[in-house]
Amino acid sequence: MSTFKAKSIWTAFITAFFALLAALGLMGATATATENGAAEPTTTNQEHTGPTAATATTPSVRWALPRDTALPPTMKQRIRAEAHGSSPATRHLSDGATNTEDATSTEGTTSTASATDSHGTAHAGDVTSTVGTDSAPRTGGTARTEGTPRPPLALAPRRIERPDVRPVCEPCGSGEAVRIDVGGGPVTAGNNGWTGMGRDWTDHDHVRRCLDEGAGPEAWSGGRPLHRAAVFGSPEVVAELAGRVADVDAPENGVTALWEAVVAGKPENARVLAAAGADPWRPSLGGWSPGRLGLAGPAPDLFPVPAGVRLTDTERATAREARRLLAALGEFHHDGFGLACVAGIDAAEAVRRLEAAPVRDEVAGGILDDPYEYDMDESLRIIGVTSVPGGCVVTQPWGYAPQMPGVLTRLSAGTVCYGLYANPKSGNQGSIARCGVIEGWDLHPGGGPYEDGTSGEVLSAYLYRHSAVAYCCAFAGLRPTGPRAVVGPPDLWVELPDRDHWSH
What are the tens digits of pLDDT across the range 150-172?
Answer: 443 333 333 333 333 333 333 34
**DSSP string spanning 50-89?**
SPPPP-PPPP---PPPPP--EEPPPHHHHHHHHHHT-PPP
pLDDT above 90 as % of the chain: 51
Contact yes or no for 191/178 (Cβ under 8 A): yes
* Distances in whole angstroms, Cα of residue 13 to Cα of each of 33, 35, 119, 305, 373: 16, 11, 20, 107, 67
426 φ/ψ angles, rounded to the nearest 5 degrees: -125, 5
Rounded Cα distance between 225 and 213, Å, is: 15
pLDDT above 70 as % of the chain: 65
Choice among 23-32, 37-46, 229-238, 428-437 with the minimum mean pLDDT: 37-46
Rounded Cα distance between 354 and 109, Å, is: 59
Rounded Cα distance between 249 and 184, Å, is: 33
Q: Does pLDDT of 500 surpass 70? A: yes
Q: Cis ω on the peptide bond leading into residue 489 (within 30° of 0)?
A: yes
- E strands along 324-482, which residues? 338-343, 357-359, 382-388, 391-396, 416-423, 427-434, 437-443
Strand pairing class (391-396; 338-343) = antiparallel
Strand partners, 492: 385
Report the Cα 419 to chain-centroid distance in Å: 20
Rounded Cα distance between 457 and 430, Å, is: 14
Buried b / exposed e over 144-176, threshold 16 CB at 10 Å, is beeebeeeeeeeeeeeeeeeeeeeebeebeeeb
Q: What is the pLDDT of residue 80?
A: 57
Choice among 43-47, 347-351, 409-413 with the minimum mean pLDDT: 43-47
Q: What is the pLDDT of residue 362?
A: 81
Q: What is the pLDDT of residue 12?
A: 75
**Helix or strand (DSSP H, E) at 234:** none
Residue 200 CB coordination number (10 Å):
15
Q: What is the pLDDT of residue 280?
A: 98
Give 29: exposed, middle or buried? Use CB within 10 Å, 0-12, 13-18, 19+: middle
Average pLDDT, the chain: 75
